[in-house]
Structure 1
């Protein structure tokens, strides 16, 4: 490269270095000749140079990876991002050269890559049936299957839509891929290519409901036409399959109307999903005889524009789940007087949340004999639905305008209800019957609730395990105004939410909830102290005091969690004070230097030879904080027990071993391995009688070991002691000093 070359049979170099000759070499299959011509052309300095960008397009069109790589890396040709048909990237997409497309697009920094160019390439690939190129552009270069890169005067041209182009070319595989990746079936595609669209929908988006041919439902079909943004449905799409459809999913489209056959004429239909559309009503029926979809089990109409539920639903005898949230329901059903129905007896779940309902008429609800889940949250209900006979387990009725809860609640639902959410209402009082329910109840943000009348009753049969209420509780000028929890809740209430209120103190009645396990108090800026009585709640393990400025519990204690905080409160309740007194027990075999060691520690002087007759000596020793030592206390007082005497008394002496003491086990270094062996019995006894105690193992008579061998001997003995102390019998031994009372340096270290 970089030097002039000539080829046999050519008159001059200029004549041979033409685009026509390069194209001819490609057409003749002589790739090497074409590559040489391109390289010589780029290195030629005489005459008019050829357009290197044009050469890049020629090489890309013929799939010449070597020449494209050469032009991009060595000649430094930059890929143009103009939206033209002769752009090298567009040409490569047209001919389906996958590797060259990667090379060209990767030569442009990601943020600088023109998205319209990538979308134009995808449209060209759709037109030519290049499925692999379309997949590459969508998955690796984020081409938008719904974007139209072909524009005229800033207006999109319909023939530039990838799906429209694929339909025009009759390519089902590319169309299916585009639809699965976000493309929309536009009205232009439906009108201009109706037969192709119908065939595509039926062959690619309809499948057997049960793949097993031996099952009863082997002849039924699942129609998955969701997220296609269909503007309408044609009746003839359903005529030949209507008797076989068991699952029909039309969610996330742009449907405003439905063919008359949906859902009433689908005899095998069990699941219908019409959510995320623009439906204001379903096809009308003249009589119940037109309803043959009696096998329907589930219906989802959420996120539409319905003003009432279709009255035809009242004739569905098998329906189990009905979802119609986020509509514009003003009435549950609109039914003319005199109309009879026998449906909805098996309805188990009803969700009509986020609507405009002002009531749930009992004429309808009393037909829901099997209802176990009801959600009417975020409506405009003024009254709690009149309870009726059904196995209701969960009732969500938050964010309405309900003022009272009927006493008949427990008559019908006492044995079933487990979750009751009536938060963010206008409750003025709560009847005692509510607390007969073994239920999790949420009454948060009930701003009209009066605490003085809230618990103006008693009930010994309460089973309430969870209570959340009084969010944004109003302050009162009455100092006696406070939240009171009745005594009958003491044995049942387990979880209590009082967060996000305006409480100025923890209600004293909370401290009487014996079975309380979780208490949430966060975001009550008025609470500045925790009552010490909280420490008496033995089951309380979760205490949420986040963002509270608690003054009577140190910050370092609060950081350790609920257990440490409650322990501190218990200590405060006992009026406990910081104790600087500790029991110090000195033990070991006879004549090991225990008393001498104690004398040296207390006096700070070399002790004289002493003869001890007492088996146990008790004294008090106050140790001042040594200079240079950082400590939170200035002194520590020890109650010293010097336990000695003959070996025959060792069994009796163990009776004085107590937990939470500091033990000093003394042994004679000069006795070597024999003394080490005697240590084990002492450590085992301490382990058995004082498992939480700290232990110091102190070796004495260091001066009796010859200085020549002292270092080696001490190292050997210490290894034995360390091995012994790391066994279960000495797992809490915390130090192993070696001392002599001939001088005080080693004693000071102890």
Structure 2
């Protein structure tokens, strides 16, 4: 066949993907076909990759010599990557001579210097193919230049999924300049989806970018617009938080002017606002600009004026504002205003110049104001005002225009005084971290029925104002970190609902009656000097020094009291009558070394803080740094002291077992008494006392290596010898003690049958004295002619009488002999040691302490 005809037939088969024709041509014209297939101009492999004929590619790989042959569209692999044929890419990877070059950098016009599989896959959006390429050349993920060029290729076609994949896979540190270059490409290509991704990676929306591409930015923002239907009046929410916006464009708001509007622009990079925001948005109800870089807020244009008459919530916190225009307080609908965490030094109508004039210029006393209040502030609807974390030294009189104010926070400023109270339903007031040394009167006249929370901490107050004490609805009062030396007179207080009182870090001093009556007290004469602590702590004229709480008023309400970091040597007695106290903090009163036993009167106390104290009447394991540092344990210890309780080293030792097993004889031998001369059956129960000596001799017998300070006391046992006859076993159950120690006896001569007879005794003990310990004792050892069977008895007991099988805890098995004829006592001393060891380790649970303690040594009433 002519080469021209054969060439045409091959080309048709390749382009149409006709596998049968291709197979026939390769079979019938093998010798003639091979040179045609390898002719570079024919590019059969390129055509097969272009049209996606996988089977043709598989056939051609066996005939094509140069798998990397170039073409105007690139090598076969590049073509397959461009068109997204993953299966063909996998086929090409089977050729060992396949070349896969790393991507090269792209120029400023995003034109590729060389056709590259990486670029083609990225530009066409084939994430799966790109992943396969990275598997072949993983080093590409570690090279900035490679990843930049791939990102540029994907960005130029708007493939945000490919870009997200690349960012997830690479560990390269991509520069801000690259991000901004990608932003320009995305905006130029009108790809809002890519722009959103870039913003999430830290790209900035600059003012210059908005001038050139504000439409695509507006389109990106429009996807974060939602309807709010839960409120009384449905509104639109423009949630544009964290978009790295450095500026705004008027187009952002033009289409949203038909219904109530809420705008959130938190955590952006705004340094200034359009004048239309907020002044020119009549349907704006809420604006949140928290966390930007605003330095100033421009007033509205005179020609436009204020038309945002629906604005109710405005948040300008966490910016860099040094001042705000007075027009901000001309928005009559404003209900919530947050100016916290800025650099404000004054509020309008004050100015820097006015700050230097007299205080009387700024504050309203009992006389008339030097300002016409309504002419400057028109915020009569304002309910919540937060001015905290600024640099304010004064507050203007115009604050009193806010007749509906409920929450005011001016903490962390530099205020030296606070305006006189005014009529408003104030619920919470935070004046902490200022420079207040006194408060004006009249608080109770204005706020006694409304004020619930008052924070005056971290100021320089030396007294508690009487009008503060008369706030009857107050439930939280924080006066920590001031210069208080005591409490106001008891009769001043009317705060019958007070639940939380914080007086920590003051100079409150209480020595107590015991100190003043000490006959050996040494008096010192101290001369005042600047470095003299006594001089510095001396009370100022008029300072309150009493430490008496209004018990009748607070005993049923106060639940938390903090007196930490003061100068208390003892706890003021009136505290013991505050019976509702749940938490008491007396930490770091370094002169306090004793906890009074009257603390036990506080029945509801759950938390007692004693950090930094060294208490002489508490064990070290109950003080700070110990695992057992628990309020319940401390109070339980104080209760023991209150009752004058003493350690008790006694318990029951009960001997049980069948008739004739030698219980009475063993009891006598343990107590050092001679065995009875005649065997007389016990009737009911016989009791006797026995002291088992401890001390160093017992420590040596136990081979105990613990600290020498650990106690090995004598233990006083009350030995109960139970009758073994069947007619008495029913009554035994009444006397079984929960935490007793049981010696269960059987006759060794009965062998396995004797072991079986133990089951009923053990089950009775488990049923009626679950926590008890049992020692099994085999008697009549001297009567055994062959002792080899004892080992089998040990094994039988270990295997059968386990706690998993429902039996009580068995601590050992001993064999003893109490022979009357020869006086031979065998195994008795070993049994005594085991009895001592077992008794010393028995623990009982104390509900009041939520913990366990050893039975031996527990405290009981003297």
Q: 1:78 to 1:377 in 2, by over 3 A?
A: farther
**415, 439, 448: which one aligns with 2:475:** 439
Q: Which residue does 1:488 correspond to in 2?
A: 550
Post-superposition offset of 1:400: 0.9
1:662 aligns with 2:743: no
Q: Is the 8 A contact 2:295 2:322 kept in 1?
A: no
Give how far 1:417 is off. 3.6
Query: What is residue 258 of structure 2 aligned with on the other side?
Result: 243
1:533 aligns with 2:594: no
Uncovered stretches (5+) of structure 2, i.e. residues with no partner: 1-29, 107-111, 351-370, 509-531, 540-544, 819-824, 836-862
Q: Give 1:36's match in structure 2, choosing from 54, 61, 73.
A: 61
Partner of 1:325: 340
For 1:745, the equivalent position in structure 2 comes to 827
Aligned pair partner of 1:425 in 459, 472, 479: 459
Give the TM-score of the pair, scaled to structure 1.
Answer: 0.76
1:621 aligns with 2:691: yes
Q: Distance in 2 between matches of 1:11 and 1:337?
A: 103
Superposition map of 1:727-746 within 5 A: 735=811, 737=813, 741-742=817-818, 744-745=826-827
Looking at structure 1, the residues matched to 758 and 36 of structure 2 have their Cα atoms a distance apart, in angstroms, of 108
1:17-96 to 2 correspondences below 5 Å: 23=46, 26-27=49-50, 32=57, 36=61, 40-41=65-66, 60-61=81-82, 63=84, 80=102, 82-84=104-106, 85=112, 86=114, 88-96=117-125
Q: Are the equivalent residues in 1 in contact too, given 2:487–2:548 (CA < 8 A)?
A: no
**Equivalent position of 1:354 in the other structure:** 389
Q: Who is 1:184 aligned against? A: 204
Q: Aligned equivalents of 2:586 and 2:136: distance in 1?
A: 58
Match of 2:6 in 1: none
Aligned-residue offset at 1:577: 5.2
1:696 partnered with 2:774: yes
State the match for 1:596 in structure 2: 665
3-state DSSP class of the match of 2:550?
helix
Flag structure 1 segments of 5+ consecutive residues without an equivalent. 1-5, 151-159
What do the CA deviations read for 1:508-545 (whole angstroms, capped 9, x no partner)? 659735544334456x4947845253762443332445
Q: Which residue in 1 is equivalent to 2:178? A: 149
Superposition RMSD on alpha carbons, in Å? Answer: 5.2
Q: 1:426 to 1:64 in 2, by over 3 A?
A: same
For the residue of structure 1 that corresponds to 2:391, the secondary structure is: coil
Of 276, 280, 289, 1:261 maps to 276
State whether structure 2 residue 190 is matched by structure 1 residue 170. yes
Which of 219, 222, 225 aligns to 1:206? It is 225
Output the CA distance in 2 between the equivalents of 1:480 and 1:611.
83
Asked whether the 8 Å contact 2:236–2:261 carries over to 1, the reply is yes
Please state how far the C-alpha of 1:198 moved relative to its aligned partner: 4.1
Structure 1 counterpart of 2:500? 466
Residue 133, structure 1, aligned to residue 162, structure 2: yes
Task: Report the TM-score when normalising by structure 2.
Answer: 0.67
Cα distance in 1 for residues equivalent to 2:63 and 2:35: 18
Q: Secondary structure at the match of 1:664?
A: strand
* Residue 281 in structure 1 maps to residue 359 in structure 2: no
| Separation in 2, partners of 1:327, 1:281 | 12
Shift in CA distance, 292/497, structure 1 to aligned 2, threshold 3 Å:
same
The 1-side partners of 2:290 and 2:133 are apart by: 43
CA contact (8 A) 1:701 1:741 kept: yes
Describe the SS at the equivalent of 1:238.
helix
Paired residue total: 707
- TM-superposition CA deviations, 1:12-33 (whole Å, max 9, x none): 99x7579977656644656627
1: CA distance, partners of 2:346 / 2:390: 10
2:693 alignment partner, SS class: strand
Aligned to 2:627, which of 531, 536, 559?
A: 559
Q: 1:43 to 1:390 in 2, by over 3 A?
A: closer
Choose 1 or 2 for highest CA Rg.
2
Deviations 1:601-643 (A, max 9, x none): 2339877656588964432413332613427333422142435
2 CA distance for matches of 1:399 and 1:651?
A: 76
Alpha-carbon distance between aligned partners in 1 of 2:761 and 2:238, rounded to the nearest angstrom: 85
Matched residue, 1:300: 315
CA distance in 1, matches of 2:665, 2:599: 46
- For 2:68 and 2:276, the matched residues in 1 are separated by 72
